[in-house]
Amino acid sequence: MMLAHPKLLETFIDHIETNEAERYCWLNRIREVGLDNALSEFEQQQRHTSGVHLRNHSSMTGPTNS
């Protein structure tokens, strides 16, 4: 299996390694919806809370600080 977005997965793993409650919640979410969908949800959550893009897509634009 070729991983399309290794940086996103690395960020996700770092996130769940730092907090047992988060790890439990995200692992349950992976069981419910699958890894791809859970990673997509994680990416959206991270973008919403921090404004940081974990993937570089030209079709996605984030908030600008002008």
38: phi > 0 → left, psi -120 to 50 → alpha, else beta; which?
alpha
**Please, are residues 27 and 15 in contact by the beta-carbon 8 Å criterion?**
no
The answer to whether the predicted template modeling score (pTM) of the entire model surpasses 0.75 is no
**CA separation for the pair 16, 28 (Å, rounded):** 12
Written as tens digits, the pLDDT of the chain (66 aa) is 455 688 999 999 999 999 999 999 999 999 999 999 999 999 999 888 876 555 544 344 444 454
